[in-house]
Amino acid sequence: MGQKTGKRSQAVSAKREAILTAALNTFSQFGIHGTRLEQVAEQAGVSKTNLLYYYPSKEALYVAVMRNILDIWLAPLRAFRQEFTPLVAIGEYIRLKLEVSRDHPEASRLFCLEMLQGAPLLMAELTGDLKSLVDEKSAIISAWVSEGKLAPIDPNHLIFMIWAATQHYADFSTQVEAVTGKTLRDETFFQQTVENVQRMIIEGIRLR
């Protein structure tokens, strides 16, 4: 009985994952309004009825996808620790954010699209988990400034600048590739990007 239950649970998890992956691909191309559940079901290899068993509406599926994206998007910020020296912590945060842009470009673009639309289905998460985490990490940065370890900067603006600089390589990857002929998938270009973004931001906040 236990083995059957375990296999059933694995099958359910695999099906949910397939649906969420297909939904991410479709939503990132067409947005919520341009996506049809039939498209998602076909790409996931399930029937529309089966999809609706797990996610009762297109909006419910979209919110599930966006919550997954938010978890990925916030993981680097959660890893930001006060026990590191300030410039090391901020440099590592920049690297992790660029890794997210490299490894999850569709997720980043869909998140960007949701923000441009005013985040109608994600506002509760933004004003809840996101704001709480940003407030927590901003307090760490403020403490470093007060202790004379960083130049006097506003923590929110520093975080916004890091978001803008790192997410650009996913949200505008077509533009980046058109200009440079490369994407973050190119290991040499990725390392150059990390080093340049780190240098430009860190030199701006280094105490002099």
Burial class (CB in 10 A: 0-12, 13-18, 19+), 194: buried
Burial class (CB in 10 A: 0-12, 13-18, 19+), 37: middle
pLDDT for res 53: 95
pTM over 0.95: no
Do residues 141 and 82 touch, judged by C-beta distance below 8 A? no
Q: Which domains occur in the chain, in start order?
A: 1-56 (1.10.10.60), 63-205 (1.10.357.10)
- The pLDDT tens digits of the residues spanning 16-25 come to 999 999 999 9
Alpha carbons 11 and 69: distance in angstroms, whole number: 22
- The pLDDT tens digits of the residues spanning 14-63 come to 999 999 999 999 999 998 999 999 999 999 999 999 999 999 999 999 99
